[in-house]
Amino acid sequence: MTDAPPTDEGWFALHDFRTVDWDAWRDAPEHERNRAVGEGVEYLRTHEAVEDAEDGTSAVFSILGHKADLLVIHFRPTLDALSRAERQFERTALAAYTEQATSYVSVTEVSGYVSQDYFEEGEDADVDEGLRRYIEGKLEPDVPDDQYVAFYPMSKRRGEKYNWYDLSFEERAEMMSVHGDTGREYAGKIKQVIASSVGFDDFEWGVTLFSEDPTEIKNIVYDMRFDDVSSKYGEFGQFYIGRRFPPADLGAYLDGESVPTSEHETAHEHGAHGEAHGHAHGDSPHGGSDHGGAHGGGGGHAHGDSPHGESDEDDASGDIRGELEDLNIYAGQPHGEDVYATVLYSEADSDELFEEVEGLRGNFDHYGTHVKTAVYEAKERGRSAVVSIWDTQSAAETAAGFLSELPGIVSRAGEESGFGTMGMFYTVKSEHREDFVEKFDTVGDVLADTDGHQETDLMVNIEDEDDMFIASQWNAQEDAMEFFRSDAFRDTVQWGRDILADRPRHVFLA
């Protein structure tokens, strides 16, 4: 008999799919339609505000295709609260024009694949706070602001040839780890919620994916199909795809208008992008591995690429450094003096972001491999960079998993279009700080007129304003190299030798 991994459960989930009786809706008198819209909006508004329970979250989505028209997702601490939310909809006038096409009941779950230490020590033990907060985020999820949603149920195969439950824990954990590596390539692009439906519904898990870009949903599911955990052991139900809209737009939806309405889209575009972090964990379709690496728990994995967004075998990176060396420009070691860094960008308020980072950093400091974690604020644009540096690649990758849970994360360094370069850790002598900023403005004017240049940010450590970080984006590598060969850049390098406190490092992302 094989060992069953321990599990911990959180909030209960209901995916309530509704079809609209469009014939009845068209034939209904206007006053009845108005009443149905009004009561429907009030139901959705109060449940999205969680006025029906002590805690939880809800959201409504329009669904494409024949299988459903609307999806209302509820997460609540108890199964009774879900039952009440479902029945309260039936009391609205809108319910008379809909039918429940299908539904799915589950409960959020983490398992021993996430961290065996968490289960071995018990909930009341002195478990690392960073790990505990990560797990709590999985058990009590928010519905992010991302526009698009996909839902599908899945099970692990129990066939004569391939039976997931006949495998040892070690075999399963290894496959989940590989599966998780695939999922982490979508950090900043996909947010997922995994909920167990064993004993609750027809399949074993319900998977909900959120993204700003619907093609990323297709991409992650496609890529994961090639992992053994899916190709040999995965069985899937029907897939649903939809788009979130605010409760106030229900009338516009029923009138056949685009939702969200333009007013809501404008607000959304200028608001937080939600926590789109693409996790892979648990005994789940987008499984992961032990995220305890930075917390002393072994083989954790990053949400995203290897340090600085490039692999150790990146020949292009070596070529770039060689070209710069020929130009007498210091390019640093491939990972910055043999350390490893992960960089994520956030649009959250920098003070709020720093408060969260400070909590994680306190945990990181317990480990000898941690070098530095800091928040850098952009001089012009409304975003910040979270930089975490470690002595080992595995520790940096594990830290990335925790950091990607931070508020407002929108991207990883190197994932944007084109060729990315970063000049990191320009530590300026205090008396020359303003000179450095002024020089950056001058260089920025030159960059703005340079062919192939997209954008460049000067970012400053919010704890040490002498510590600068520069992020630059180009259409192609050759465009960046052309600038590095220029007299303007050469003059800047020469000038910097007098005002910098130490030698700068240039880290490149192809």
Name the amino acid, one letter, at 217.
I
Residue 407, judged by CB atoms within 10 A of its CB (0-12, 13-18, 19+), counts as middle
- Please state, in angstroms and rounded to a whole number, the distance separating the CA atoms of residues 124 and 481: 55
Cis bond before residue 6 (omega within 30° of 0): no
Q: List Cα–Cα distances, 238 to 12, 136, 226, 383, 407, in angstroms.
A: 21, 29, 19, 38, 32
The SS3 call for residue 30 is helix
Active-site residue flag, 152: yes
Task: Single out the catalytic residue among 113, 134, 148, 152.
Answer: 152
Written as six digits, the tokens of 287 are 């499984």
- Please state, in angstroms and rounded to a whole number, the distance separating the CA atoms of residues 425 and 469: 5
- Please state, in angstroms and rounded to a whole number, the distance separating the CA atoms of residues 383 and 63: 33
The distance in angstroms from the start CA to the end CA of the chain is 48
- Please state, in angstroms and rounded to a whole number, the distance separating the CA atoms of residues 115 and 292: 6
**Do the Cβ atoms of 18 and 98 come closer than 8 Å?**
yes
- Please state, in angstroms and rounded to a whole number, the distance separating the CA atoms of residues 348 and 346: 6
Name the amino acid, one letter, at 153.
P
Q: Which residues are catalytic?
A: 152
